[in-house]
Structure 1
Amino acid sequence: MHPTAMLNARMFFDVYGASFASARVADIGAQDVNGSLRDVCPSRFTYIGVDFVAGKGVDVILEDPYRLPFEDQSIDMVVSSSCFEHSELFWVLFLEIVRVLKQPGLLYLNAPSNGEVHRYPLDCWRFYPDSGKALTTWARRSGYDVTLLESYTSKQIGDVWNDFVAVFLKGDRFSHDFPGRITDGFEGFTNGTALGRANNLNPQRYPEDMDKLMLISDLISNRISVKR
C-alpha cells in the first residue's frame, strides 16, 4: 500500500463515511501488503476483507474472481485499492460490485494511472481521467442506476504512482444525501470531475511522470544548445 493509496482512502471515509451511522463495507483486494484499507475504515463500520487468495487481513476468499458471495443489495460500501489493474475483466467485476450494493450504496475505486509493471499474478490495466465516466456508462447500459459522484488523478507523494480515484453511487436519486466531495478540500489532484461542481477540475494534459521526462528533455536540449 503506497502513501497516496492510503491517503485517498482516508479522505473517502472522512468525506463520505459521515453519511452513514453504520455500514457494511467490503474491501475487494484486501490482503494487507504494507497496510490495508482496514486501517482507515471507521471503527463503527463492519469491515469485510475480500481477496482471491488467503493472507493477512483477508476474511473472505473468492472461488470465482468475478462472483462475490453476497446477496443482492446487501453491502453499503465497496472499496477497492490497487486491485482493478490486476483483474483481467475488471468491467465484469464492476457490475458484480454494483449488484451487491444497496441503494444508496457507494463504490470507492483506486487504481494506478501509471507506474511500473507489478504482476500479482497479472498486470493488465491503467486508468485514465475518463475511466469513471466509461464505467458509469457501462453500468447504465447493463441496467444499473449508477452515478459518478467524483473522480480525479492524485499527484505523487514519495513514490512514482499516480492514482486514479473514483466514487460511484448506486441510486442517482440519493445524490443529495452525499453533498461533500473529496475534491472540495483537496488540491493534490489533476483532471477532476465532481457531480454538482464545475467539470474539468485542475486540468493537466500530460501525466506527472511525462511532465518530468519533458522537463529533463528540455534541460538536456538547452545544455546542448548552450554548448553549440
Structure 2
Amino acid sequence: MTYAFITGASGDIGAACARALAKEGYSLYCHYHSNEEKIRNLVTELKAAYPEQDFLIIQADLSLDSSLEIITQSVFQLDGIIFAHGDTSYELLTTHTSNEFDDMWRVHLKTPMRLCQAFQSKLSQQQQGRIVFISSIYGLSGSSMEVLYSTLKGGQIAFANAYAKEVASLGITVNTIAPGAVATRMNTDWTEEETKELLETIPVNRMALPEEIASFASFLFKKEASYITGTTLPMTGGWKI
C-alpha cells in the first residue's frame, strides 16, 4: 500500500488533492491546523469510499517548530508529500511585524524543508518518492500588498528546483504547481465588482477549480511522471501578471 502526506488537507486545494490521491489508491495522512470539522468530514467521506485504504488525521500548527516532531512521530510509511497549506496576508511590507515574518517563514518554507529533510529516507525506499508544492503564480511574478507571501512562495520554487537535483538519484521527484486565481475560500472575500475586474484579465474568464490543481498534483505522483522533476507549472488560465 502506498502512503501520502498532505498538509492543509482541510483547505479547498488540499482536500481536492486528498480525493484525487485516494482515487488513485493512496492511503493518506491528512494534516490540518484548526478546521477539525472539515478534516473529519473529509476523512469520513474517504473511508466510506475507499474502505481498504487508511486515512489518518494529524493536527499541527506549522508556524511552530514543535510541529516537526508531532508530524514525524505520526508518519510511518511514506511515498509522497503534497504541501498544500498556508494563507496570505494583504498588507504593505512596512506593516508586517517581526513575529509575522517568523511565522510565515516557518509555515511556508522552514517546516516544509525540515519535513523533506526528515522524510528523505522514507521517500527514497521505493525509488519513486514524490514531493509537490502548491505554490503560487506570485512566487514567479510577485504581487504588491503580498510581498512577504510572494517572496516565500518564490522560495518554495527555488527550494524545489535545487532539492530536485539533490535527490534525483534517489528516485525522488520534486515539483511545484503555481496556480493563479483559484475558486477557494481564500478568494471569497472580494466584492462582485472586484471579481468581475479580475476575471476580465484572465483569458479563460474564470478562476481555476481546486480539482484542476489536484488533478495535476495527482499526475505528478504517477509512474509516468517520473521524468518530471525540478519543474514549475503555472496554472493561470492564461493570466499574465
| Richer in helix (by share) | 2
TM-score (normalizing by structure 1): 0.48
Identify the structure with bigger relative contact order (alpha carbons < 8 Å, sequence gap 6+). 2
| Richer in strand (by share) | 1
Larger Rg: 1
TM-score (normalizing by structure 2): 0.46
